[in-house]
Amino acid sequence: MLIGSDKIEPALTAAPLAPASPAAQPRMYNAAYLVRPDGSTAAVYRKIHLVPFGEYVPFKRLLFFLGPLVDFEFPFVPGTEATLLPVKGHMVSTAICYEVIYAGLMRSFVTRGSELLTTITNDAWYGWSSAPFQHWEQATLRAIEEGRYLARAANTGISGFVDPYGRVTQRSNMFQSAVLVEDVRFLTSRTIYVRIGDVAGWLSVALTLAALLATRRRVR
């Protein structure tokens, strides 16, 4: 079972840090826990890509005046490792909130051995705007890129399951209380994207720039 939060998770639960001085600020992580049937913690994934102004203030020294306006006492600390969660001999990854839009991060999960993608999110911030629907569509794309089933749980929707071809097998509506159950498979095959990453994209950029330069020379 995955347990996650977009608000709290202290660092010391899974991997103890060096003893802190009494005056030191606590380190807080946004994390997802895998809990065994006996209540013990099997693994913890700490969110790597934090949301600017929602979980920390970027360029804090320059934007110091924004600190009092942000709704947290201490900023979150980003995780440093794409930790996988063991499930009955298989490895599962989970992305927290908008991390699922980062194709590179999702690819790193799969290259490390993830056989199933999961994501948990708090989309209540956006109400009935287009943002929750865009977030869902972006998560669907990750399933296609990585060639994995995707299970998504959102506190206000949209929750559901997507197969490796991008087909939605189940989904809930916005602000609908629902329990969804679906058979998903653990997969180990690797797509072209998992193998080469963004090489094709960067190559396309390079070729486009080369074509523009060649056109500019001809115009002259």
Q: Find out whether the peptide bond into 158 is cis, omega within 30 degrees of 0.
A: yes
The answer, yes or no, to whether residue 4 has pLDDT greater than 70, is no
Least trusted range by pLDDT, from 92-96, 110-114, 158-162, 198-202: 198-202
CA distance 8 to 26: 12
* Residue with the two structure tokens 């006996």: 38
Mean pLDDT (whole number) for 70-87: 82
Tens of pLDDT along 181-193? 999 999 999 999 9
Say how far residue 59 (Cα) sits from the centre of its chain.
23
Please give the single-letter amino acid code of residue 172: S
Reported as a single tens digit per residue, the pLDDT across 6-54 is: 444 443 333 444 454 555 667 889 999 999 999 999 999 999 999 887 7
Task: With CA atoms as reference, report the closest residue to 161 among 130, 194, 183.
Answer: 183
- Looking up tokens 């916005």 gives 174
| 8 A C-beta contact, residue 120 and residue 113 | no
Predicted pLDDT at 58: 75
220: helix, strand or coil: coil
Has residue 212 got a pLDDT over 60?
yes
So what's the pLDDT on residue 76? 83
Distance of alpha carbon 114 from alpha carbon 39, whole angstroms? 23
Residue (of 141, 142, 147) closest to 185 by Cα position = 147
Cα–Cα distance for residue pair 87/106, rounded to 1 Å = 18
Instruction: Grade residue 168 by pLDDT with cuts at 50, 70 and 90.
Output: very high
pLDDT at site 73: 55
pLDDT score of 203: 92
From CA 144, how far away is CA 191, in angstroms rounded? Answer: 9
> What's the pLDDT score for residue 66?
60
pLDDT for position 54: 76
Q: What's the topology of domain 2-189?
A: Nitrilase/N-carbamoyl-D-aminoacid amidohydrolase (3.60.110)
Span 92-134, pLDDT tens digits: 999 999 999 999 999 999 999 999 999 999 999 889 999 999 9
Q: What is the pLDDT of residue 14?
A: 38
Q: What pLDDT, on a 0 to 100 scale, did the predictor assign at position 6? A: 41
The pLDDT tens digits for 54-68 are 777 776 666 666 656
Q: What's the whole-model pTM score?
A: 0.80
pLDDT at 9: 43
Q: For residue 68, count CB atoms less than 10 angstroms from its CB and return exposed for 0-12, middle for 13-18, buried for 19 or more.
A: exposed
